[in-house]
């Protein structure tokens, strides 16, 4: 009986000892996580909104846990003071110009105080310092922004659906371009015309290149005009002479105009013979009468010559003259035939 009681007491003692070890280890682990047993210094930060931050939440600096939140208190209706305990081993890396903001451990995780910034030349934080704060975007604001963006995305998607439907049905310029063969053919023709224009431009460029090469060929007129100073000087001299000749022609034309004006004045004047003939009606009538008399005298002279030809005294003279003229005509025709034969034989 006593042996069983002793054995039972030993077992109970072992379980109690193991429980005490677990309890102490848990206290040490939790204390290590909450920095309960660390040597720390206290700093404060004043926020307008802590977004659900609670006592015991962690303080992080550059992604490393450096402390915990020890107290939260109101200083006013929109001023909330948060007291933080910072591990002294991290003190040398946290400077007075760091800023604090309320953040979260993940998107929807526990709230934390995130410290950031700091300049190496600025002294480290000390016990009782007040750290500047920056306003961070809360998860609610982030979710609200996401909801607004989601609505905008839904609206954009609906618009894209409407646009693609109209395009598929052939509405609008893009829809007609896709659905209509006429627009496609017109576009194809325009592209073909552009290709022909490009080919013509290339051909013109090649011709210009060829012409430029010919300009650089020595001995050509274009090259001489560009490079030979003698040819250029002669051309300049020729242009000067042409200009002088042009001035002479202008002078001659002025003289002709003056002479024409003088002749015109003389023709209009009744004092000159020509003007009298043109302007004096009596003189013109007398001239007409004289011309008629000359025509009548010429007709009568022709009749007298015809009568002389039939006169037996002069008939032989006119016959001999006609025979001589006929003989001369035959001689000229023979010479022409002989010259033609000589020309054919020479060929």
- Backbone angle region of 170, left / alpha / beta, with phi > 0 → left and psi within -120 to 50 → alpha: left
Q: Is 231 a residue whose pLDDT tops 70?
A: no
pTM: 0.36
Q: Enter the tokens of residue 45.
A: 């930060």
CB 40 within 8 Å of CB 85: yes
Contacts of 179 (CB under 8 A, 6+ apart): 168, 169, 170
Q: Is 214 a residue whose pLDDT tops 80?
A: no
**pLDDT, position 46:** 92
What's the CA gap between 94 and 88, in Å, rounded? Answer: 10
**pLDDT, position 82:** 92
39 three-state secondary structure: coil
Q: Enter the tokens of residue 277.
A: 């003939």
CA dist 108 → 34, 138, 254, 266 (Å): 21, 10, 107, 121
- Least confident window among 156-160, 208-212, 263-267: 263-267
| Average pLDDT value for the chain | 77
Segments making up each domain of the chain, as ranges: 34-142, 156-227, 229-268, 281-309
What's the CA gap between 118 and 247, in Å, rounded? Answer: 93
**pLDDT, position 45:** 92
**pLDDT, position 30:** 61
Q: How far apart are the first and last CA of the chain?
A: 171
127 three-state secondary structure: coil
Q: Is 260 a residue whose pLDDT tops 80?
A: no
CB 70 within 8 Å of CB 85: yes
> Given the structure tokens 């979260």, which residue do they identify?
104
What's the CA gap between 197 and 200, in Å, rounded? Answer: 5
What's the CA gap between 303 and 298, in Å, rounded? Answer: 9
Q: Provide the β-strand partners of residue 73.
A: 81
């Amino acid at each position: 009986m006593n042996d069983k009681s002793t054995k039972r007491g030993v077992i109970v003692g072992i379980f109690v000892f193991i429980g005490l070890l677990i309890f102490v280890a848990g206290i040490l682990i939790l204390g290590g996580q909450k920095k309960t047993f660390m040597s720390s210094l206290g700093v404060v930060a004043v926020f307008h909104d802590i977004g659900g931050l609670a006592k015991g939440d962690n303080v992080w600096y550059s992604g490393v846990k450096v402390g915990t939140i020890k107290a939260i208190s109101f200083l006013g209706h929109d001023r909330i003071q948060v007291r933080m305990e910072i591990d002294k081993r991290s003190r040398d890396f946290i400077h007075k110009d760091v800023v604090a903001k309320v953040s979260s451990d993940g998107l929807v995780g526990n709230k934390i105080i995130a410290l950031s910034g700091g300049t190496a030349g600025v002294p480290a934080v000390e016990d009782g310092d007040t750290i500047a704060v920056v306003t961070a975007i809360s998860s609610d604001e982030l979710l609200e922004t996401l909801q607004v963006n989601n609505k905008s995305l839904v609206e954009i998607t609906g618009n894209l659906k409407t646009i693609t439907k109209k395009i598929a049905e052939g509405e609008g310029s893009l829809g007609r371009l896709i659905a209509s063969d006429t627009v496609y053919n017109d576009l194809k023709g325009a592209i073909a015309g552009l290709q022909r224009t490009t080919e013509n431009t290339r051909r013109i460029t090649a011709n210009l290149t060829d012409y430029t090469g010919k300009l650089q060929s020595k001995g050509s007129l274009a090259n001489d005009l560009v490079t030979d100073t003698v040819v250029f000087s002669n051309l300049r001299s020729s242009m000067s002479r042409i200009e002088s000749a042009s001035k002479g022609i202008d002078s001659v034309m002025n003289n002709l105009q003056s002479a024409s004006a003088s002749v015109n004045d003389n023709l209009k004047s009744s004092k000159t013979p020509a003007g009298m003939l043109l302007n004096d009606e009596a003189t013109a009538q007398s001239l007409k009468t004289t011309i008629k008399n000359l025509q009548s005298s010429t007709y009568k002279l022709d009749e007298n010559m015809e009568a002389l030809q039939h006169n037996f005294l002069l008939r032989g003279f006119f016959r001999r003259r006609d025979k001589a003229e006929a003989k001369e005509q035959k001689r000229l025709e023979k010479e022409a035939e002989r010259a033609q034969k000589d020309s054919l034989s020479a060929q």
